[in-house]
């Protein structure tokens, strides 16, 4: 993917006035005590590197910039998650929102306003999540949405939003796409840079980037599969 470099993401932070900030998930990991947490860069799936923890951390930093803006955490239980962890696995949205709240509560900075947290906890893929978020924006009257995800994920989300808006025949919400890695690099300089840089040089990261590019190619060619299909042994 051309927007990536060997030295890690370089997308600049752009934070205009927003009505809502939404946070995409990247799967869960199960801890030894039986609880769940967001994935690390060392966690992978069939597509490569995950690293959802940076999305929760970036959301925490954005809260201190926009404490009055509500945050929506996304994604429910996919068939893949249920197959891996069992039917009682929590939704991604629940766990990422929990980490967000705990991070803010544990921060030394003084809260001027308690975070407003909502869950989009029914989607099982990016397309469904975008559709649900558009519906939430319409219901709440939100016109300006910030969307946080990993740098490797942003180009495909942009392309999918374009596809959805084209089918709708309108753009009911203006979306600002925000790289979690870029947010952390700008708002917490030097704290996570080395970890991010190292992660994006790994074979798992390169595999993720290749698969994301494959997704972009499929979108451009009109053959993108919008169903869940995560349990298939091989995936486009």
Q: What is the pLDDT of residue 14?
A: 60
Cα separations (Å) of 13 from 17, 70, 72, 184, 207?
A: 13, 19, 19, 9, 25
Quote the CA–CA distance of 40 and 87 in Å, as a whole number: 22
> Within 10 Å of residue 109's Cβ, how many Cβ atoms?
9
Kindly list the domain boundaries of the chain, sorted by start residue.
23-217
Whether the per-residue pLDDT at 59 is higher than 80: the answer is: yes
Alpha carbon 204 to its chain centroid, in Å, reads: 18
Q: Is the pTM of the predicted complex or chain greater than 0.75? A: yes
DSSP letters, the chain, are -TT--TT---PPP-----SEEEE----EEE-TTS-EEEPPTT-EETTEE--THHHHHHHHHHHHH-TTS-EEEE----HHHHHHH-TTPPPHHHHHHHHHHHHHHT-SSPPSSPPPEEEE-S-SSHHHHHHHHHHHHHHHT--EEEEEE-TTTHHHHHHHHHHHHHHHTS-SSEEEEEEHHHHHHHHSTTTSHHHHHHHTTSHHHHHHHHHHHHHHHHHHHT----S--TTSSS--
pLDDT in tens, 16-38: 899 999 999 999 999 999 999 99
Whether the per-residue pLDDT at 223 is higher than 80: the answer is: yes
Question: What are the two backbone dihedrals, phi and then psi, of residue 85, each rounded to the nearest 5 degrees?
Answer: -115, -15
Pairing of strands 174-179, 144-149: parallel
CATH number for the domain whose boundaries are 23-217? 3.40.50
- Sign (positive or negative) of CA dihedral 35, 36, 40, 46: positive
CB 191 within 8 A of CB 22: no
Quote the CA–CA distance of 108 and 106 in Å, as a whole number: 7
Q: What is the pLDDT of residue 229?
A: 41
pLDDT in tens, 122-154: 999 999 999 999 999 999 999 999 999 999 999
């Amino acid at each position: 993917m051309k927007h990536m470099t060997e030295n890690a993401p370089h997308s600049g932070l752009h934070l205009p006035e927003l009505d809502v900030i939404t946070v995409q998930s990247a799967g869960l990991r199960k801890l030894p005590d039986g609880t769940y947490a967001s994935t690390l860069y060392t966690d992978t799936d069939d597509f490569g590197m995950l690293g959802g923890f940076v999305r929760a951390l970036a959301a925490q930093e954005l809260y201190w910039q926009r404490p009055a803006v509500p945050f929506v955490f996304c994604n429910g239980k996919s068939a893949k998650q249920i197959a891996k962890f069992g039917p009682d696995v929590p939704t991604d949205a629940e766990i990422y929102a929990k980490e967000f709240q705990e991070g803010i509560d544990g921060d030394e900075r003084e809260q001027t306003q308690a975070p407003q947290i909502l869950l989009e906890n029914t989607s099982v893929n990016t397309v469904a999540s975008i559709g649900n978020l558009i519906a939430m924006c319409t219901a709440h009257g939100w016109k300006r949405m910030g969307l946080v995800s990993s740098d490797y994920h942003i180009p495909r989300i942009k392309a999918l939003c374009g596809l959805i808006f084209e089918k709708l025949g309108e753009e009911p919400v203006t979306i600002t796409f925000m790289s979690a890695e870029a947010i952390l690099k700008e708002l917490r300089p030097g704290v996570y840079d080395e970890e991010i840089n190292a992660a994006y040089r790994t074979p798992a990261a390169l595999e993720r980037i290749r698969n994301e590019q494959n997704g972009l190619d499929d979108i451009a060619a009109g053959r993108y599969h919008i169903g869940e299909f995560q349990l298939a042994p091989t995936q486009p």
